[in-house]
Amino acid sequence: MKKYLYIIIGTMMIGNVFAQNKNMTDTIFSIREVEVVGTNLKKNEVGKLNVPLQYLPLSVTTVSANTLDMRGIVNMQDAVKFLPNTRMRTTYGAYQQFEVRGFDFTPIMIDGVRDERTSITNSAPLPDLSSVESIELLKGPASVLYGHSTVGGVLNVIRKAPTSKNTLNALMSYGSWDNKRAMIDFGGKFFGPFNYRAVVNWSDNEGYRYTNDKRFSGYFALGGQLDAKQELDIRAGFNRDWYGTEIGLPQFMANDVYNADGSKYLSKGDMLPGLNRRWRYNNESDFMKNNGSNVSVRYSNKVSESLKIENRLAYNYDNIDYFSTETLSYMESADPIYNHYYMKVDAKTKEQTKQYICLDTVQLTYPLRFAYTVHVINEQLEASGKIEFDNGMKYNYLGGYNFVYFHRNTYRGYGGTNPQTNKTYQLSDLIDGPGLNSKVPVYNPHSMGYMDPHFSAGTATRNITNGVYLQNLLELSDQFKVMASGRFDHFLFKTATATINPISKERKYSDQPEFDKTTTSSFTYRLGAVYLPATNLSVYGSFANFFMPYRDIVSSNIIYINADGNRFEPKDGDQAFKPQTGYQGEIGVRYSHNNILQATASAFYIRKNNEKKTLKTGVVEDGVTKSVVGVVGSSESKGFELELTLTPVDNAALSFGYGYTDATIRDIKKNEYMEEEVQKGMRLAGIPKNTFFAAGNYRISKGMFSNLGFNLTVSYTDNVYRTVDKGVVYPAYWLTDLGVSYKLKNGIQLRANVNNVFDEKYYNQSLGTQMVPSMPRNYLFTLAYSL
């Protein structure tokens, strides 16, 4: 496939996606080829209502495709640097977890349709950005707009729309560590009233850490005006991605470590000396495949100015297949058979004894095998419009119904019961080959043999969500706007534990019992007001709430504690716990000046209640050992954001963003099982307090160097605790990226990018205490053509 794609691109030399003309009706502001990052006062899609953003009491930031393309960015984890108060966490080499304003439940949408995978664990591999037109981030709780589990906000990925203009673009790029990519993008008139757009992207990357990731995706959009009132838009996409997975370097020291003679060798938290940051400890059998596809149909009919009907039906399919080494264990012994030791403390007696540890070898003790298939149907029916009154007041509304069906079957290669012995399967029962428990040298590691895993059990889950909502924006005058919106959701969750007998490499349940189920209902709202003392200045305030349903099935092995700290006894089929709830209060200001300056500032406070905590384990009642679980926790996040976009001349643009978040654990409701609040006031894990970026583009417009362009990006991420006890800390880091481009008169464009210019050595992910080194200085060279 890659050979033919290169031949097509190299022969036709057709277009690139980087030079796209926009006007002031777009959600982002562009000046020819100099694109601006930031917020804009024009209409946005994520806010739903068909009014300018300055009329809404919301905080929205937009990043354009051009901003990303000029910097060679095609992955979401690199794009979020332009979104203050956010962080994209990568785990296992492919799973992305998005955090905004201190909380990590921020669903991701594609063209306004939720990716329901990110609503469950907020962790899923994301497709590349080759077909993306722009990215919009609505910050803060948004349950009133998009339903459950929208705590930090909502990220909307907007793909390229069909175009009537003949468009034919392509690029080829090559970078450090054999990073190869080819992309083709074309569109124009199709037939009758319909236009189209198509994108194909391929990449193959050995990678700094030898992950050898491979990605292939395609996108097609067809749309047009059926008549003066009716519009039809059909979009479809697919991805076929393969990842090598990532388990990092051997664990850093959990204790002070001593030489055999008693002299200190390493301190707690130290990494082993002399490790090469490129060394890879994964087994040769490790992999993750992600195959996905989606299709959506949107039909709209503008009956009149006061009534527009729109229906959007979408189907998504996702297939994950995963096996990875994961845990790297040091071998230990109470006997002095190794050259180093640490002092082991007995949990009960507190007595210390020497525990000898081998630091020149790691053992592959717990590889993880799982897979799942997901089918999602999402139906949205909306009616919207504007009504103008004789006194000059205007009423904007949007009412709708949303139905979501989520179907997932999971298959796992751990746990499960052997029907012959009636005992739980051990990994040795499920994994063939010499790789399991193999010993890999710490220095100059290499695979010690393959592993061939089998499935032993599974879980089937179904979610069904029904939501009705109404947004109201009343324009009292040119200066005053008032919003009152509400939504009611009913959430049904069903689950069943399935068996796979005998163990198999195939995804097939041998037995699936009846589903257990639980339901949750919730009403959410947003109230807000906007004041515009001038047409280019708006001040707003809003208050909104959210909810997150639990998916717990009532169990006889659990002692249940409610939000008041009291014990209660839910019955089978009941809601085990009330959902997590919370709210946000926000104030902000927006200002623009003659398309030269755009500035926004916002301050927020978010509280989350009914957080589930395991309070105690090993409690014996009536001969049954139980765990105590209660929704007694709460947390809060407060902070602010500043964003500025400056375009002093038509060939230069500057943008800046700063975010501050103070996210901490609040009170834990006292109860008979837990009286001491050991975590109160602790900083939440995964959240940097300070984030910053500065980005600039400049293009020479006259003289012998005309069409020579430059771009600069500087970003900062504060230190991050992986766990609240600070067991793992990712230090703060600065990154500087530079780019240069030159556009020839025949449409060819040459680009060169240098990322991490100052070769910062940093970490921003790990598997437990196995730190994953991030990329040092790297290069990317691109040849592009625009017809």
The pLDDT tens digits for 621-672 are: 989 999 999 999 999 999 999 999 999 998 999 999 999 999 999 988 888 8
Contact 43, 8 (CB under 8 A): no
Average pLDDT over residues 164-189: 97
Closest CA to 769 of 255, 392, 374: 255
pLDDT of residue 312: 98
CA distance 731 to 717: 9
Residues 15, 16, 19, 24: what is their CA dihedral angle, to the nearest 10 degrees?
A: 100
Residue closest to 598 by CA, chosen among 657, 542, 528, 639: 657
Tokens of 136: 């919009």
pLDDT tens digits for range 92-143:
888 899 999 999 889 999 999 999 987 776 678 999 999 999 999 999 999 9
What is the domain range of residue 265?
Answer: 2-786
Please tell me whether residue 673 adopts helix, strand or coil conformation.
Answer: coil
Percent pLDDT > 70 in the chain is 94
Q: What are the two backbone dihedrals, phi and then psi, of residue 690, each rounded to the nearest 5 degrees?
A: -125, 135
What was the pLDDT predicted at 17?
A: 31
The alpha carbon dihedral of 99, 101, 103, 109 has a sign of negative
Which residue would you say has higher pLDDT here, 746 or 750?
Answer: 750
pTM of the predicted model as reported, rounded to 2 decimal places: 0.92
- What does the pLDDT read at residue 670? 81
pLDDT, residue 3, reads 44
**Domain total of the chain:** 1
d(CA 388, CA 376): 39
- How many Å apart are CA 476 and CA 121, to the nearest integer? 42
Ramachandran angles phi, psi of 131, nearest 5° = -100, 10
Q: What single string gives the DSSP state of each residue in 496-559?
A: EEEEEEEEESS---SB--PPEEEEEEEEEEEEEEEEEEETTEEEEEEEEEEEE---PPP-TTEE
Characterize 255-266 residue by residue with b for buried, 16 or more Cβ atoms within 10 angstroms of its Cβ, and e for exposed.
bebbeeeeeebb
Beta-ladder partners of 717:
691, 733
Q: Identify the CA nearest to 407 among candidates 515, 295, 522.
A: 515
Task: List residues bridging with 317 in a β-sheet.
Answer: 293, 375
Place of tokens 């799982």: 370
DSSP string, 257-277: EEETTS-EEE-TTPPPTT--T
pLDDT higher than threshold 80 for residue 8: no
Q: Span 434-453, mean pLDDT? A: 96
Tokens found for residue 184: 């083709």
Q: What is residue 283's three-state secondary structure?
A: coil
Tens-digit pLDDT profile for residues 308-323 = 999 999 999 999 999 9
∠ CA 199-244-3, nearest 5°, is 40
Token pair belonging to 423: 């005992």
Q: Give me the residues paired with residue 734 across strands.
A: 716
pLDDT at 33 > cutoff 50:
no
Q: What is the pLDDT of residues 139-161, one digit of tens each?
A: 999 999 999 999 999 999 999 99
Spatial separation of the C-alpha atoms in residues 295 and 106, rounded to whole Å: 22
* Distance (Å, whole) CA 168 – CA 787: 6
> What are the residues whose beta carbons fall under 8 Å from the beta carbon of 231, sequence distance 6 or more?
223, 224, 225, 298, 299, 300, 301
| Nearest to 324, CA basis, from 206, 245, 207 | 245
Angle at 458 between CA 455 and CA 460, to 5 degrees: 150
The DSSP secondary structure of 7-32, one letter per residue, reads HHHHHH----TT-----TTSSS-EET
List, for residues 663-709, the tens digit of each pLDDT value: 999 988 888 887 667 788 999 999 999 999 999 999 999 988 999 99
pLDDT of residue 752 exceeding 90? yes
Q: Which one, of 110, 492, 495, lies nearest residue 315 by Cα?
A: 110
H or E element that contains 659: strand 652-665
**Cα 415 to the chain's mean position, in Å?**
29
Residue that the structure tokens 């008693």 belong to: 262
Measured CA to CA, the distance from residue 78 to residue 781 in angstroms comes to 17
- pLDDT at residue 675 in the model: 65
174 vs 36, which has greater pLDDT?
174
User: What DSSP designation does 80 have?
Assistant: G
CATH of the domain at 482: 2.40.170.20
Region of residue 481 (phi > 0: left; psi between -120 and 50: alpha; otherwise: beta): beta
Secondary structure of 93-111 as H, E, C letters: CCEEEEEECCECCCCEEEC
* C-alpha dihedral (267, 270, 276, 280), degrees to nearest 10: 120
Cis peptide bond upstream of 502, omega within 30 = yes
- CA 699, 701, 702, 708 dihedral sign is positive
The residues, ordered by sequence, that sit 6+ positions from 305 with a Cβ below 8 Å of its Cβ are 385, 386
Give the pair of three-digit tokens for residue 64. Answer: 């354009």
Query: CA 405: distance to chain centroid?
Result: 21
Name the residue among 469, 517, 461, 470 with its Cα closest to residue 489.
Answer: 469
Please, which pLDDT band fits residue 420 given cuts at 50, 70 and 90?
confident
Mapped onto helix, strand or coil, the DSSP state of residue 336 is coil
Angstrom distance (rounded) from CA 604 to CA 250:
40
Q: Which residues, in sequence order, are bridge partners of residue 458? A: 411, 498
